Amino acid sequence: MKFVYPAVLKPEENGRYSGYFPDLDGCRFRGGTLYDALDDARDALEAWIRVELEDNGGLPPTTDRDDMSLAPGEFVREIGAIVRLTDGWDE
Protein backbone atom coordinates (compact mmCIF):
# COMPACT_ATOMS: atom_id res chain seq x y z
CA MET A 1 0.00 0.00 0.00
CA LYS A 2 1.24 3.52 -0.74
CA PHE A 3 1.32 6.14 2.00
CA VAL A 4 2.02 9.83 1.42
CA TYR A 5 2.86 12.36 4.13
CA PRO A 6 4.11 15.95 3.96
CA ALA A 7 7.71 16.50 4.99
CA VAL A 8 9.18 19.82 6.08
CA LEU A 9 12.74 20.42 4.85
CA LYS A 10 15.24 23.12 5.60
CA PRO A 11 18.65 23.81 4.10
CA GLU A 12 21.41 24.10 6.70
CA GLU A 13 24.26 26.60 6.57
CA ASN A 14 26.74 23.86 5.59
CA GLY A 15 24.71 22.98 2.46
CA ARG A 16 23.11 19.89 3.98
CA TYR A 17 19.35 19.44 4.44
CA SER A 18 17.38 18.27 7.43
CA GLY A 19 13.71 17.71 7.94
CA TYR A 20 10.83 16.10 9.74
CA PHE A 21 7.31 14.82 9.23
CA PRO A 22 4.96 17.02 11.29
CA ASP A 23 2.34 14.26 11.50
CA LEU A 24 4.73 11.48 12.54
CA ASP A 25 6.07 11.90 16.06
CA GLY A 26 9.87 11.81 16.08
CA CYS A 27 10.27 10.97 12.38
CA ARG A 28 13.27 12.99 11.20
CA PHE A 29 15.74 12.76 8.34
CA ARG A 30 18.75 14.49 6.78
CA GLY A 31 21.10 14.37 3.84
CA GLY A 32 24.19 15.93 2.31
CA THR A 33 22.14 17.08 -0.68
CA LEU A 34 18.46 17.67 -1.27
CA TYR A 35 18.29 14.38 -3.19
CA ASP A 36 19.94 12.50 -0.28
CA ALA A 37 17.58 14.11 2.23
CA LEU A 38 14.53 13.14 0.17
CA ASP A 39 15.84 9.57 -0.13
CA ASP A 40 16.43 9.42 3.64
CA ALA A 41 12.94 10.88 4.18
CA ARG A 42 11.40 8.03 2.18
CA ASP A 43 13.36 5.45 4.18
CA ALA A 44 12.41 7.12 7.47
CA LEU A 45 8.75 7.26 6.45
CA GLU A 46 8.72 3.56 5.50
CA ALA A 47 10.35 2.51 8.76
CA TRP A 48 8.07 4.72 10.88
CA ILE A 49 4.94 3.37 9.19
CA ARG A 50 6.04 -0.27 9.59
CA VAL A 51 6.67 0.17 13.32
CA GLU A 52 3.47 2.12 13.89
CA LEU A 53 1.31 -0.43 12.08
CA GLU A 54 2.91 -3.32 13.99
CA ASP A 55 2.63 -1.60 17.37
CA ASN A 56 -0.64 0.31 17.10
CA GLY A 57 -2.37 -0.83 13.92
CA GLY A 58 -3.20 2.69 12.74
CA LEU A 59 -1.67 5.84 11.32
CA PRO A 60 -2.29 9.53 12.00
CA PRO A 61 -4.10 11.66 9.42
CA THR A 62 -2.07 13.97 7.21
CA THR A 63 -1.97 17.70 7.76
CA ASP A 64 -2.98 19.84 4.80
CA ARG A 65 -0.13 21.91 3.44
CA ASP A 66 -2.20 25.10 3.82
CA ASP A 67 -2.55 24.45 7.57
CA MET A 68 1.21 24.28 8.21
CA SER A 69 3.20 27.08 9.78
CA LEU A 70 6.71 27.07 8.35
CA ALA A 71 9.80 28.78 9.70
CA PRO A 72 11.82 30.97 7.32
CA GLY A 73 13.67 28.83 4.78
CA GLU A 74 11.52 25.74 5.33
CA PHE A 75 9.59 24.15 2.49
CA VAL A 76 7.26 21.17 2.10
CA ARG A 77 7.51 18.10 -0.13
CA GLU A 78 5.10 15.21 -0.26
CA ILE A 79 6.94 11.95 0.42
CA GLY A 80 5.52 8.58 -0.58
CA ALA A 81 6.44 5.13 0.67
CA ILE A 82 5.18 1.75 -0.41
CA VAL A 83 4.74 -0.68 2.48
CA ARG A 84 3.69 -4.28 2.01
CA LEU A 85 1.00 -4.98 4.61
CA THR A 86 1.09 -8.78 4.41
CA ASP A 87 4.07 -11.11 4.43
CA GLY A 88 4.40 -13.98 2.04
CA TRP A 89 2.08 -12.79 -0.74
CA ASP A 90 4.76 -13.42 -3.34
CA GLU A 91 5.97 -16.79 -2.02
> CA angle, corner 39, sides to 47 and 71, nearest 5?
95
Looking at residue 28, which CATH number applies to its domain? 3.30.160.250
Residue 38 has pLDDT above 60, yes or no: yes
β-bridge partners, 6: 78
Q: Confidence class of residue 28 from pLDDT cuts 50, 70 and 90?
A: very high
Phi, psi (deg, nearest 5) at residue 72: -55, 135
pLDDT of residue 87: 61
Residue 89 has pLDDT above 90, yes or no: no
Specify if 90 maps to a domain.
no
Q: Confidence class of residue 41 from pLDDT cuts 50, 70 and 90?
A: very high
Specify if 64 maps to a domain.
yes
pLDDT of residue 85: 72
Task: Give the count of domains, the chain.
Answer: 1
Domain that holds residue 73: 2-82
Percent of the residues in the chain that have a pLDDT greater than 70, as a whole number: 93
